[in-house]
Amino acid sequence: MMIPITDPRIEEYLRLLAPEDDPDLTAMEERARGLAFPIVDRLVGRLLYLLTRLRQPRLVVELGSGFGYSAWWFARAISITGKVVMTERDGGNIEYARTMFRQNGLIDRVELRQGDALEIGPEYGDIDILFIDLDKEQYLRAAETMLPRLAKNALLIADNALWYGRVAEGADDPETRTIRAFNDFMCSRRDFFTTIIPLRDGVMLAYRLS
């Protein structure tokens, strides 16, 4: 039995408070539902947008981009001189994202990279926002690999940090163990101030202090 992180009634209330009517957003959400494809959804998307506007990054790197839903929120918020790097193994997802960003006029703000996120990510340095949303068993390795690539005062954001509540249940499957180890790793670091927001499936925010 999974621990409920938020009551569905609360999530519905939050959605109704700030409705979104962008046709590209709606199309992506319909695609996700049709394919049963996991996305951060609009509540987390709005948080990503807000954090991006506040941080004003020059470079956002996503580890695990799917077909571009989270990247769309970053690209909407970033300045015209900034760049969002998408990483995704599936060529079909990359091409869908390319088409989508072209039609909504954001293609100049994104760089689409097909392949292994943990091979592509280290090619970049001075990363202002790092977003982690790849295979859960790779979270700890992703942090260990990418922290040296972050800029001063960078922000690390990770989705699924509460992993359907399993991190608090004592579950012992490989994915839960890795998420728990990742959470412990980030929260124990003195060079980051880290918290986890119980929104959707849990969003980790870690701010680099030095």
Tokens for 176, please give them: 């839960």
Q: Give residues with Cβ within 8 angstroms of 50, minimum separation 6.
A: 77
Read off the pLDDT of each residue in 48-75 and give the average, rounded to a whole number: 98
pLDDT at 23 over 70: yes
| Total domains in the fold of the chain | 1
Residue 28 resides in a domain: yes
Answer yes or no: is 146 within a domain: yes
Q: What is the pLDDT of residues 167-202, one digit of tens each?
A: 998 788 999 999 999 999 999 999 999 999 999 999
Closest CA to 147 of 90, 186, 198, 100: 186
Q: Is 3 a member of any domain?
A: no
Q: The whole model's pTM is what?
A: 0.96
In a domain, 49, yes or no: yes
CA distance 5 to 197: 10
| Per-residue model confidence (pLDDT) at position 52 | 98
**Structural domain that includes position 16:** 8-208
Domain-embedded: residue 2:
no
Residue 201 belongs to some domain of the structure:
yes
**Residue 31: band (very low, low, confident or very high) from pLDDT cuts 50, 70, 90:** very high
Q: What is the CATH number of the domain that holds 160?
A: 3.40.50.150
pLDDT at 1: 55
**Inside any domain, residue 50:** yes
- The contacts of residue 77 (CB under 8 Å, 6+ apart) are 48, 49, 50, 52, 53
The span from the CA of 80 to the CA of 24, in Å, is 19
- Is 1 domain-assigned? no
